[in-house]
Amino acid sequence: MTSPNIAAGCAAPDQSAPLPASVDLEKETVITGFVNTADGEAVGGAYVRLLDSSGEFTAEVVTSPEGVFRFFAAPGSWTLRALSRAGNGELTVDVTRGVNEVALSVAAA
């Protein structure tokens, strides 16, 4: 188990920590990635929301200082929505079992 990200004021697990050894990637689906600006700068402290295929809110995490986030989900279609001071962004992904890596860009409105 990873320790809470207390320094950032968030009780969520450290998003950039390695996957626990107990995670069976043949049975579990992991959506992981990073939030960045159009210039490629990492966006730490962004809120990343996971929405199901009908658009319903499922979960939210705060990115690490390096812009990294991670969700455990079921295989299928998901929407990732990032909200940050640097801007907002959205990405729809179709994921399968195992690790699914994505990049989510944000831009000011």
The H or E element that residue 70 is part of is strand 68-73
CA dist., res. 42 & res. 63, Å (int): 10
Q: Say if residues 47 and 83 touch (Cβ distance below 8 Å).
A: yes
Q: What is the average pLDDT across 75-99?
A: 97
102 is a domain residue: yes
The residue ranking higher by pLDDT, 27 or 44, is 44
- Say whether pLDDT at 83 is over 70: yes
In a domain, 19, yes or no: no
Enclosing domain of residue 54 = 28-106
Does residue 64 sit within a domain? Answer: yes
Q: Is residue 18 part of a domain?
A: no
Whether residue 88 contacts residue 46, with contact meaning beta carbons closer than 8 Å, is answered with: no
The CATH number of the domain holding residue 51 is 2.60.40.1120
For residue 94, give the DSSP letter.
E
Q: What's the mean per-residue pLDDT of the chain?
A: 87
* Domains of the chain: total: 1
Q: What is the pLDDT of residue 13?
A: 64
In a domain, residue 99? The reply is: yes
- Give the model confidence (pLDDT) of 37-75 as tens digits: 999 999 999 999 999 999 999 999 999 999 999 999 999
> Would residue 13 count as lying in a domain?
no
Residue with tokens 């909200």: 83
